[in-house]
Structure 1
Amino acid sequence: MDGETGEDGNDSVPAPVAAPDDAGPCDGADADDDQADADAAWSPEYDRTRETLRWLRDKRRAHRGQRNRDLAVTAYGLLLLGVGYGSTLGYRFAQRLGHLAADDHTSEATGRALSAVLVLLACGLAVLAARDALWRGPVLVPRPDLSWPLAQPVRRDRLLRPAFRLTTALMTVGGVLCAVGGAVLLRLTGTTALGPALALCMPAGVCLPLLAAALALQVERRLSWARRVRTLTPYAVLLLIALAGQAAWAAASGGPAGGQRAVLRVLETAELWSGPWGWAVQPILHASSGHVPGWSMATALLAVVTAAAVVHADRTAGTIPTRRLRARAATAATVASVLWSVEPRAAKLAVAEALADGASGTRRRLPAPRSRRLVVAWRDAVALLRGPGRLVGAALWIAAGAGAASVAVALEGAARLVVLAVALALGWFGVGRLAETARLEADDLRRSSWSPFRFRGLMFQHALVPAALGAVLTTLAAVPFALYGGERALLLMPLCAPPFAAAAVLAAVRGPVRTELMSLGLVTPAGDASAFVFLFWYAAPFLTTVTVLTAGLGTSGVLDPGAPAEAFLRPVMTALTLTSGLLFATARRVKKLLRPAV
């Protein structure tokens, strides 16, 4: 095949050839068949891999220096932030950790829960890597490379393997840093010396990221794996929740004797030998407790499985269909561009679309209402019925908030207020997931053209379903409190749902992102505070709701045992006043939002 003259008149560039772009995988074929079709487009005698890669290196040499300088400046800035802010926080954390380690009760509870916590982290890494591969993956090729080099008669593995190896290297570096951090924590708690702790934490820090990268490659490469990940994700989330519950159960259990400890030991043994997530945990547990039989065999199994998985992934890295590479490159470019313009909502929508991959939800329906005043609530309920993931996610957030609230009730003073604020924040995220239809209508005002109501009334009605369903979910979360003598939770927890729903609608109509707030030039001794002004504007509904409810609940005395009935008056009035204020702010924001369109 003859070459063409490059843009400078001297470089020989291989001429592009017509290559099929994954004609097969639309019907569910695997990537091996797609690669066979792509390889059939040209014979080895036309291989121009060496010439193409040499031409790319020459053209990129001019930009490599500027890229390295930009990376150096970024690394220097992160180092300054880490040293300036992280050193003080790290010192205080080390002091606090030392005080906790000196408490025998806390130390024993942490040791009992350590196995489940570590298995939870390992399984969470696998789930996160598999989900990430649905929209990005370990092989992320820039769109210019997809437009020209992969259309040339070149070997795909020479272009795709470096991307996979770079991802695995970065993940391994992160894992090693986490292993070092874990060893330091073991040393600070007085469990073992730093050297042995580092040696025993390193297998997990090296092998788990490599296994996660290999898993992500198979999800990115094979359509059948991607479908299984989408199907099994809810069950994986339930498994993670069960592990979190097991950790809490183990921390709250008594001494080494008893039926509870026997059941926990059986569960821990099954988890530690169930797969790589358990094999990687055993050396860390051995460093912590010193008595984990078979940890050396588990480490050997982990090393063998990791080596086999990485070798197989490296060999098959070049078989990813171009169509999937192109879709992931487009999504990643969209996410990067909107994040640079501080548009997290647009980034979330782009990722959600890629995760769905065109899958149509269920077609369940509810009986249509007879009154037009109920049509908005009916549409919101149907939307949740056809997307049950949002309802399940809201229930999980609210359940986590209920767990945090149970901890807050047992505390006193400032610690109670902090944990109560965390519980309310979790509840806000839960109820906020139920208000997606309000956000969709506010993203594009033309979508509200179907409604017989004015836009302000439409937004108010979008708060009805989140408030009602949020009240139901919080009531269900309060049932365990009522069974153990906390009947007041049946009133206090549903009381928070209406303000959360109103705050979610207010956040939906906040309007375009005001990036000009980041350049106000508010110079302080700690630096420019403009970014904090922007963050406060962006999170104003969330911060206002959580702060006011925390003050109303935490300072009224209603959480204290034996509180009088008059103590309920302040939380009730706080919730009603806050809801009214948030709805009034929503009306004002809607007026400003519609003003440019008038």
Structure 2
Amino acid sequence: MDSSVPPRGAVPVDGAVPPGEAAGSGTDGTGPDTATRADSATRAVTPAASGAVPGTGQATGAAPERATGPETGTDTRSQGAPGAGRKSAQGGRSTRDADVDLREDAHVDIREEAREDAHETGPGHNAPSRDEDDGAAPRAFPGPGSARTADDSADAAGDGTGPDGPSTDEEDDDGAAWGPEDDRTEETLRLLRDKRRAHRGQRRRDLAVSGYVALLFAVGYGSTLGYRFVRDLEHLAAQDGVTEALRRALPAVLLLLACGLALLAARDALWRGPVLVSRPDLSWLLSQPLRRERMLRPVFRWTLGLLTAAGALCAVGGAVLLRLTGLAGLGEALALCAPAGVCLPPLAAALALQVERSGRAADRVRALTPYVLLAVALLAGQAAWAAAGHRSTVLETAELWSGPWGWAALPVVHAVTGQAPGWPVAVALLAVAASAAVLHADKAAGTVPTRRLRARAATVATVTSVLWSAELRAARLAVTEALAGGTTGARRRLRVPRSRRLAVVWRDALALLRAPERLVAAALWLGAGAGTAALAVALDGGTRLIVLAAALALGWLGVARLAETARLETDDLRRSSWSPFRLPTLLLMHVLVPVAAGVLLALAAAVPFALQGGGRALLLMPLCVPPFAAAAVLAAARGPVRTELLSLGLVTPAGDASVFVFLGWYAAPFVSAVGPLTAALGLGGVLDAGAPVSSLVRPVVVAAGVTAVLLFAVVRRAKALVRPAG
């Protein structure tokens, strides 16, 4: 090998010596990769590496002190301990020593800046390492009242094998242990109170204005809607058999609501959680010698108070509904709905805190979510079955005494039916469980690892910023990535097709197999749509059209879940470079798998109707899938959000109507599919009993025409996406 050929490495910058040579032969314990990373990081932060004087912007004019190169093959630096400052052959301080001093003087933490930059791009780009304790109280560093934890130190120090190399964070080495003499909690909190006092009045005025606007909307719009809702509810309750059906279905409905609350709280904790700290507090407070519990417990208590207040309002609303439907008196309903409204939210908050602070609990939530959704669907079916007159008393008793979700429902069941023996015991058990959960959660609120708080703060910041710009897709991607937690899908395989024309179909089918939660979600949405359609069949007039539109909307949501690959294709058009097809043809091929999977799920949802004598459902339900799939792909191809529509200046007596123009543009694919199908199915008489076979012609023609128009729109939008600007 020719010794004159320089070693392979990074290209020198600003006349610097190649890092591979600057690292030497590695006899001092520092490998070339480590030196390369340290040199590049230092050059990126400080101007001294390129020969500039800090703060002046002028070059020093001095030659580099490290005068080694491929010509000599020698290293004039003295050998030293790994990581120690190195001297040049003339005895002066090396460039790296000057850079390290400059970095220490400026308090520049390269590793923290890289971590924050990774979080700026969204969740998942800097996935945190899993804590070994998995929810246990973090091990404190030596010294009473330590503000830093062993988990945080491990997260900051790393394993030395990452892209940043061995940790050189001075704060982790020198500030790991601190004692009572270093505690600055009281002074810091006092300073925060003094600084925030000047802004407290402005915050109160902002809250007052927001409350006034909300009250204005509630009185102006909500009063009319509320009055109509009350009148319709009283009219519905006056019909024969409706009150009795509601009474039979109430236990299953209450259990469904309690299980839904628990699932919502656990899933929310995967990306937000009850302890949500702002990014400035994370950067400037939790990294200081402060007691973590003094900073985190007030946040948890504030969340707990908000949830409890919301639960109390829901209890009042539930009591009013029971009074309006004639199921119970207002006073008794208020008294017996209060335990559920006061105790269930604290339990949900405690569950969410455990999920937020423990990696194992978060993994269990992700693994158990499909089963909980299945249980919720079964409870919905049980409620419908009980309303139809097929009530199982033994099953309801077992469910009501199975846990806090049932204990909270027993007093309400007693108020409605008077047949819930032992409900005072259930109330006592519920109160004890809620008290114990709150006490334990309050003690554990200060043990949430900092890296989890940082990840959630980054996710919330991303979601908030993109929501202000109406980028709903970006917000959904951020939340979805946080919910996934960096886990990959099941590694299922499909045989690669022989023809390249089937490559898109093969990839879509494989993506659906590796993300079965999409298929489960689609099945649940379609099942809910089928149940709503069954209710629409039993109605007539304008009410039938409204309920039928709701059923078709649920079906559209289910089919849209199957078209995720089309959205991923249009999120970044560079991804389509793998395909041998142009973008219009590629998007048309993305319609095939949602249609095939949606038709199979629709057929499964139509089987109960066929068994009850409604054989036409086997045709009508699958018939709605192609327009829904085409509309979902069109929504994926509509391009960037047109926020300029929000500022058109369309002044009307009721205010600026620009927002309605924007909503119309955003909902155009959905409305173009649901609207015509609602008219064809609701006005054509095909849902009426004894309707002739000729009534099926109109829905078939409308579905085919809508599908063709939407596919044509997909092609037009795809061409517009790849059309050069200007």
- 1:150 partner SS: coil
**CA RMSD, Structure 1 to Structure 2 (Å):** 2.2
Q: Distance in 2 between matches of 1:485 and 1:186?
A: 35
Instruction: Give the match's secondary structure for 1:363.
Output: coil
> In 1, distance between residues paired with 2:273 and 2:374?
24
Aligned pairs (5 A) from 1:383-532? 383-532=511-660
1:195 aligns with 2:323: no
- Residue 44 (structure 1) aligns with: 180
| Greater CA drift, 53-62 or 302-311 | 53-62
TM-score under structure 1 length normalisation: 0.92
Paired AA for residue 559 in structure 2: V
Q: 460-469 or 402-411: which moved more?
A: 402-411
Structure 1 counterpart of 2:478:
350
Paired letter, 2:561: R
- Please give the alpha-carbon distance, in whole angstroms, between the structure 2 residues aligned to 1:405 and 1:101: 21
CA distance in 2, matches of 1:119, 1:480: 24
Q: Choose from 409, 416, 434 the match for 1:288.
A: 416
- Which of 250, 254, 262 does residue 386 from structure 2 map onto? 250
Deviations 1:45-67 (A, max 9, x none): 31111111122222223333222
Report the residue type matching 1:29 in the other structure.
D
Q: Which amino acid aligns with 1:310?
A: V
Q: Superposed, which structure 2 residues align to 1:195-274 within 5 Å?
A: 195-253=331-389, 260-261=390-391, 264-274=392-402
What is the rounded CA distance, in whole Å, between the counterparts of 2:535 and 2:412 in structure 1? 28
Work out which structure has the larger RCO, using CA pairs closer than 8 Å and 6 or more positions apart in sequence. Answer: 1
TM-score by length of 2: 0.76
| 8 Å Cα contact 1:16-1:153 kept in structure 2 | no
* Bigger Rg, structure 1 or 2: 2
Preserved CA contact (<8 Å) 2:243 2:327 = no
Question: 138, 146, 153: which is aligned to 2:274?
Answer: 138
Cα distance in 1, alignment partners of residues 574 and 555 from structure 2 = 31
Is the 2:562–2:594 Cα contact (8 Å) retained in structure 1? yes
% identical aligned pairs: 69
Matched residue, 1:12: none
The answer to whether the aligner puts 1:171 opposite 2:275 as a matched pair is no
* Correspondence 1:83-122 to 2 at 5 A: 83-122=219-258
> Structure 1 pair 24/233, CA: closer, same or farther in 2 (3 Å)?
closer
Q: Name the amino acid aligned to 2:629.
A: A
In the alignment, residue 328 of structure 1 is paired with which amino acid?
R
**Aligned residue number for residue 549 of structure 1:** 677
- 8 A Cα contact 1:24 1:33, kept in partner: no
Q: Which has the higher helix share?
A: 1
Q: Distance in 1 between matches of 2:322 and 2:510?
A: 51
Aligned counterpart for 1:369 among listed residues 494, 497, 512: 497
- The equivalent residue for 1:34 is 138
Query: Residues 496 and 506 of structure 2 are in contact (CA less than 8 Å); yes or no, is this contact kept in structure 1?
Result: yes
Q: 1:507 to 1:25 in 2, by over 3 A?
A: closer
Q: Is residue 459–residue 479 contact of structure 2 (8 Å, CA) maintained in 1?
A: yes
Task: Give the 3-state SS of the residue equivalent to 2:130 in structure 1.
Answer: helix
Offset of 1:596 from its aligned partner?
A: 4.5
Q: Distance in 2 between matches of 1:366 and 1:597?
A: 39
Mapped to 2, the partners of 1:329 and 1:585 lie a distance apart of 39
Structure 1 residues 13-72: Cα deviation after superposition (integer angstroms, max 9, x where no partner)? xx999x999x99625422435342535632233111111112222222333322222222
**How far did 1:409 drift?**
2.3
Q: Structure 1: 5+ residue runs without aligned partners?
A: 1-14, 254-259
Aligned partners of 1:300 and 1:575: how far apart in 2?
56
The answer for the alignment partner of 2:717 in structure 1 is 589
1:196-231 per-position Cα deviation (integer Å, ceiling 9, x unaligned): 321221111111101100110111111111111111
SS in 2 for 1:241: helix
Letter in 2 for 1:505: V
Question: Partners in 1 of 2:481 and 2:664 — Cα distance?
Answer: 28
**Does residue 293 of structure 2 align to residue 157 of structure 1?**
yes
Preserved contact between residue 137 and residue 444 of structure 2 (Cα < 8 Å)? no
- Amino acid in the other structure paired with 2:346: L
Distance across 2 between alignment mates of 1:330 and 1:267? 45
8 Å contact 2:243–2:326 — kept in the other structure? no
2:447 paired residue number: 319
Q: Post-superposition shift, 1:194?
A: 2.5
**In the alignment, does 2:431 pair up with 1:303?**
yes
Aligned partners of 1:474 and 1:101: how far apart in 2? 32
- In the alignment, the residues of structure 2 paired with residue 109 and residue 450 of structure 1 have an alpha-carbon distance, to the nearest angstrom, of 57
Shift of the alpha carbon at 1:373? 0.8
In 1, distance between residues paired with 2:128 and 2:646? 48
Aligned-pair CA distance for 1:187 = 2.3
The equivalent of 2:508 in structure 1 is 380
* Structure 1 counterpart SS, 2:241: helix
The residue type paired with residue 47 of structure 1 is D
Consecutive unaligned residues in structure 2, runs of 5 or more: 1-106, 116-126, 142-147, 150-175
